[in-house]
Amino acid sequence: MKKFDAVIAGGGVIGGAIALELARAGLRVAVFDRQQPGQEASWASAGILSPAPENPAMIAMVPLGKASLALYPEFIAQVEEISGMGAGFRPKGTLEALFSHDTRAELSTIIALHHGLGLQAEPLRAEDARELEPALSEGVEAAVLRPEEASVDNRALTAALLEAAQRSGAEIFSGNGASAIWRDGKRCAGLLLQNEKVEAKWTIIAAGCFSATIEGIARYAPVRPAKGQMAALRADDLKIERVLWSEKIYLVPRNDGRIVAGATVEHAGFDKRVTAGGIAKILSAAIELAPGLANARIEETWAGLRPDTPDHLPILGPTDLDGLLMATGHFRSGILLTPITAQLVREWITEQRVSVDWERFSPLRFQSAATDAARHAPA
Ligand SMILES: Cc1cc2nc3c(=O)[nH]c(=O)nc-3n(C[C@H](O)[C@H](O)[C@H](O)COP(=O)(O)OP(=O)(O)OC[C@H]3O[C@@H](n4cnc5c(N)ncnc54)[C@H](O)[C@@H]3O)c2cc1C
């Protein structure tokens, strides 16, 4: 029987980063993936690194997002050095374009919200925004620049992370997924794979939106897939420097000249089909934001599955089974949250303490919600 200090179910960006951290801390680590690792959400993503909340529910995640963004430059330098591969990190800020007629009020609300959360944000007049990003539409009335934000080429990052983890001593097994956790009384003793058991002191579930399909996990990580469709465009005569947002879309420039446009948010089960309606929405919003894109070539379209959770917040930390940890449910922010997730898991395993409070993201919160509901239910 294979035996490790730590086993990880799932070889996406999260499992890969945890494997790297733990291997560098001297643990014997293995990642088990049911297919070729790095081909799910971490491949499909846009790679925007923005701790700004997209809706009120995500405000609780801002401190975690800020901590993770702050780790990014060093994290990338380390991954690139160990792997010898580039990760396409672009620390150039992001720019949110406003089309509304009442931009003055909208702008001051957005700026106040950001500053209240300790996030840098600068108001820009339309002409200043277009000077920074000439591709922006004449219809843009004002903009918000978030200078600290960044983007990364998530496909390159995931591949580099897996390589760095391996070079640091982690073992990565493809085509050998977990069917269940191995329960031994109040302890988790490892994973049950398709045809074998693998023993470990620590078991970490990082299987993205598939985590709840592993037997024994749904009570801690009731994740479900949220499909996102995307398109990659190339326009030889149009330059975009920063991530651009409108209310409807984001455009993410890559170092190789591609512009990634996305994304839909659809609860459609594990379906990854690209649809005409989905791509039509993305293209028309992209052209509205940067009209020059009307002449762009469509290089690729795809869809991926975000790991969504009942409260849209990640699921991180220990469970009530000794040795079992969750690192999943990162929904729309898993690329942003990769460095902090890996760091916190490593701190917990090697020091039994964490440097950023993760209680809010506990895997036990769903059980207490279910227990409370049962307690208050009419007899
Ligand atoms: C369209 C789209 C756009 C996005 N944009 C952004 C963005 O701009 N910024 C951002 O921060 N985040 C973004 N995200 C979210 C981010 O991509 C995810 O939160 C992140 O990639 C999740 O990583 P993961 O490693 O948990 O999951 P995944 O990358 O899905 O990896 C899970 C792995 O587990 C494996 N697996 C499945 N079942 C099993 C099993 N039973 N046993 C073992 N292994 C198993 C899978 O094969 C897979 O390799 C986006 C996501 C999508 C889909």
The rounded Å distance from CA 306 to ligand 1 centre is: 6
**Can you tell me which atom of ligand 1 is nearest the CA of 38?**
49
The rounded Å distance from CA 49 to ligand 1 centre is: 15
**Can you tell me which atom of ligand 1 is nearest the CA of 335?**
11
**Can you tell me which atom of ligand 1 is nearest the CA of 263?**
1
The rounded Å distance from CA 158 to ligand 1 centre is: 10
Which residue, judged by its Cα, is nearest atom 35 of ligand 1?
Answer: 10
**What are the residues facing 191 on neighbouring strands?**
181, 198
The C-alpha torsion from 76 through 77 and 81 to 82, rounded to 10°, is -50
- Give, in degrees to the nearest 5, the angle at Cα 222 between 375 and 328: 130
Helices (H), the chain: 13-24, 41-44, 62-83, 103-116, 126-132, 154-167, 276-289, 338-351, 365-376
Query: What pLDDT, on a 0 to 100 scale, did the predictor assign at position 375?
Result: 47
Query: What pLDDT, on a 0 to 100 scale, did the predictor assign at position 378?
Result: 46
Ligand 1 site, CB within 6 A: 9-15, 32-35, 37, 39-42, 44-48, 177-178, 206-208, 210, 213-214, 228, 230, 262-263, 304-307, 328, 330-336
The rounded Å distance from CA 228 to ligand 1 centre is: 11
Query: What pLDDT, on a 0 to 100 scale, did the predictor assign at position 107?
Result: 86
Which residue, judged by its Cα, is nearest atom 19 of ligand 1?
Answer: 334
Query: What pLDDT, on a 0 to 100 scale, did the predictor assign at position 155?
Result: 98
Query: What pLDDT, on a 0 to 100 scale, did the predictor assign at position 280?
Result: 98
The rounded Å distance from CA 273 to ligand 1 centre is: 16
Signed CA dihedral, 3, 338, 226, 48: sign only: negative
Pocket test for ligand 1, best of 330, 331, 336 (most atoms within 8 A of CB): 330
Residues lower than pLDDT 50 in the chain = 372-379
Query: What pLDDT, on a 0 to 100 scale, did the predictor assign at position 258?
Result: 97
**Can you tell me which atom of ligand 1 is nearest the CA of 305?**
53
Q: Give long-range contacts, CB 8 A cutoff, 24+ apart: 268-274.
A: 268/225, 268/227, 269/225, 270/209, 270/225, 270/305, 271/227, 272/227, 272/302, 272/303, 272/304, 272/305, 273/303, 274/229, 274/301, 274/302, 274/303
Query: What pLDDT, on a 0 to 100 scale, did the predictor assign at position 369?
Result: 56
Query: What pLDDT, on a 0 to 100 scale, did the predictor assign at position 91?
Result: 98
Size of the chain, expressed as the number of residues it contains: 379
